């Protein structure tokens, strides 16, 4: 070390700056990590909401050209009616008056996975039974994504709910939160995707007016009434003739993400709409896992 360097190192201010610089560098690094984590959380939440859970389908108003994203999550257009309720998809934007802005994260999570809002049990058309499988990290991501959207005030008519409003049954194996480690198994991943995408909510046969994923898993037969007319959910079990057991993986993939059948013709509007607007955004890994899991469903006629 030269004499000049030694004199510089011994200056009173020089020794004091180094610890401060180290502290600033550490703080900067923590901030960068926090920003990266937040971005990753929002990206994951967006994927779950848009590609799998299809929240817009019930909670975003529509125009003749599809979803009206200028009023995203301010409440849906479709009315769901039953003997115990007449409801629309509610405002799930962070608006403080008409949305979920005043709700705590715990209250929002309870609505998503348990079907219970601060005002009481939600109508069972809210598919919370399908969302019970959400991993803790994914549930956090969904809440973070919804919180980050623009608050939109809406004047939706009041919901009409009465009676027991019993929650529906989940797919066997998806009744409680799955773990990130468990999703390394492709079949567990396929079950997870099937649950979040509500495949069996639509395609299971009904018992006493509600989907029965235990005894009639994937059997089909549920009737959907749309502006285009009534349609019947298909059998998607592994049955070789009544179900999709004879379909190739490519044919199943095309049905899921393009909304077309084996003959190349469009599927009924409900499935076709979901395919184009949502399931077409599925990651390849999720599609493959879903198809592999569908192959394991017991054949039913």
How is residue 281 written in tokens?
A: 């955004």
Mean pLDDT, the chain, as a whole number?
88
Q: Classify strands 85-88 and 160-161 as parallel, antiparallel or unpaired.
A: antiparallel
Please write the tens of the pLDDT for every residue from 73-101.
999 988 888 888 889 999 999 999 999 99
**Residues facing 116 on adjacent strands:** 121
Distance from C-alpha of 120 to C-alpha of 249, rounded to nearest angstrom = 43
Q: At what angle do helices 12-47 and 136-147 cross, to 10 degrees?
A: 90
The reported pLDDT for the residue numbered 208 is: 83
The reported pLDDT for the residue numbered 9 is: 46
Nearest to 175 by CA among 126, 229, 230, 134: 134
Please write the tens of the pLDDT for every residue from 161-190.
776 677 889 999 999 999 999 999 999 999
Cβ-based neighbours of 44, under 8 Å, separated by 6 or more: 137, 138, 141
Question: Could you tell me the pTM of the whole model?
Answer: 0.86
Per-residue pLDDT band at 64 (split at 50, 70, 90): confident
The reported pLDDT for the residue numbered 157 is: 73
CB-CB contact of 88 with 61 (8 Å) = no
Distance from C-alpha of 234 to C-alpha of 230, rounded to nearest angstrom = 13
Residue 237 has pLDDT above 80, yes or no: yes
Residue 275 vs residues 51, 80, 125, 203, 249: alpha-carbon distances, Å: 9, 21, 20, 15, 16
Residue 296 vs residues 169, 241, 266, 279, 291: alpha-carbon distances, Å: 20, 16, 26, 21, 9
Please write the tens of the pLDDT for every residue from 100-122.
999 999 999 999 999 999 988 99
Please write the tens of the pLDDT for every residue from 7-35.
434 444 444 456 666 665 565 545 555 55
């Amino acid at each position: 070390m030269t004499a000049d360097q030694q004199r510089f190192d011994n200056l009173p201010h020089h020794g004091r700056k180094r610890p401060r610089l180290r502290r600033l560098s550490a703080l900067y690094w923590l901030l960068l990590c926090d920003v990266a984590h937040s971005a990753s959380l929002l990206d994951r939440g967006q994927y779950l909401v848009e590609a799998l859970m299809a929240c817009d389908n019930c909670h975003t108003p529509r125009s003749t050209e599809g979803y009206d994203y200028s009023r995203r999550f301010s409440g849906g257009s479709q009315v769901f009616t039953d003997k115990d309720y007449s409801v629309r998809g509610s405002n799930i934007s962070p608006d403080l008056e008409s949305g979920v802005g005043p709700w705590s994260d715990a209250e929002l999570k309870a609505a998503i996975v348990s079907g219970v809002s601060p005002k009481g049990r939600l109508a069972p058309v809210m598919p919370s039974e399908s969302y019970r499988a959400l991993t803790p990290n994914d549930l956090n991501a969904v809440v973070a994504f919804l919180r980050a959207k623009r608050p939109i005030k809406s004047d939706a008519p009041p919901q009409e709910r009465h009676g027991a409003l019993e929650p529906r049954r989940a797919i066997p194996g998806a009744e409680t939160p799955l773990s990130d480690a468990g999703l390394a198994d492709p079949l567990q991943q396929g079950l997870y995707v099937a649950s979040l995408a509500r495949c069996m909510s639509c395609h299971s046969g009904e018992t006493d007016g509600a989907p029965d994923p235990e005894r009639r898993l994937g059997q089909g037969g549920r009737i959907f009434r749309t502006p285009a007319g009534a349609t019947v959910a298909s059998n998607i079990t592994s049955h070789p003739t009544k179900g999709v057991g004879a379909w190739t993986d490519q044919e199943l993939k095309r049905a899921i993400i393009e909304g077309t059948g084996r003959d190349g013709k469009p599927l009924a509007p409900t499935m076709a709409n979901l395919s184009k607007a949502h399931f077409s955004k599925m990651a390849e890994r999720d599609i493959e896992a879903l198809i592999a899991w569908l192959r394991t469903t017991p054949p039913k006629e």
